[in-house]
Structure 1
Amino acid sequence: MRTPFVVPALAVLAVAGCAVDTASPVRAAERFHAAIAGRQEESACAMLARRTADKLPAPGQTCADALREAKLGPGGQPTSVSVWGDEAQVRLAGDTLFLRRFSDGWRVRAAGCRPVPDLPYECEVED
């Protein structure tokens, strides 16, 4: 069971593309899901925040292996985006992602997130 992902009141997290996306968290989220859909898990790993990529794999597993096993939604069209400074939440038709803007662009900190009533989000991939 994954631990709940806490979303501070003034924070929401980051997504990025094969190359990190410097323009928008929405585009970064879409690129992340495009890489997953295209079975390019290594590229998707490159879009994760360093802490997320480091924490994701189990011992003896690569980041790409862990993403192949993660139960991520299908992505889809953006339905909403919220940005608070360097933090963002992007809701796609089939997934909710949290992103953070780093010096090199937007990176995914959490994906496969589902709201839990009266609790923080629960995410398949998180830091």
Structure 2
Amino acid sequence: MPLLPLRLPPGADLREALEEATRQPGVGSAFVVSGIGSLTQARLRFAQADVETVIEGPLEILSLSGSLAENGVHLHMAVSRADGSVLGGHVGHGCAIRTTAEVLLALLPDWQLTRAHDAETGYQELVAMPRPPKRG
């Protein structure tokens, strides 16, 4: 399984940068294996919440994980404040990198990850399908 290490610079939007990475040639579907760094602010949607909460920094990214499908991402993150308190949830747009973010992606060239509406959950859920073999 090929790996892609990324370093995201100050000011970058964490989620947007990862969405952009999936649009690069040869990337497509991937899972976030690891992510650390710092943020000036985070936008997280907590469990069963309908809206995102803005958390002002400085913040440390303690963990970042999720799936990067070709038509959407599903990311979760835990961040800590300067006092050590920790918050976590679903990552929204607007998580601004403070000094850096270091992310390791596991690329899935033999798989196509997409998201499709699931009638049972009401959400866009992951659909994983093997890619058809390339014809030479």
Please identify which structure carries the higher strand content. Answer: 2
TM-score (norm 2): 0.25
Q: Please, what TM-score do these two structures have when normalized by structure 1?
A: 0.26
More helix by share: 1
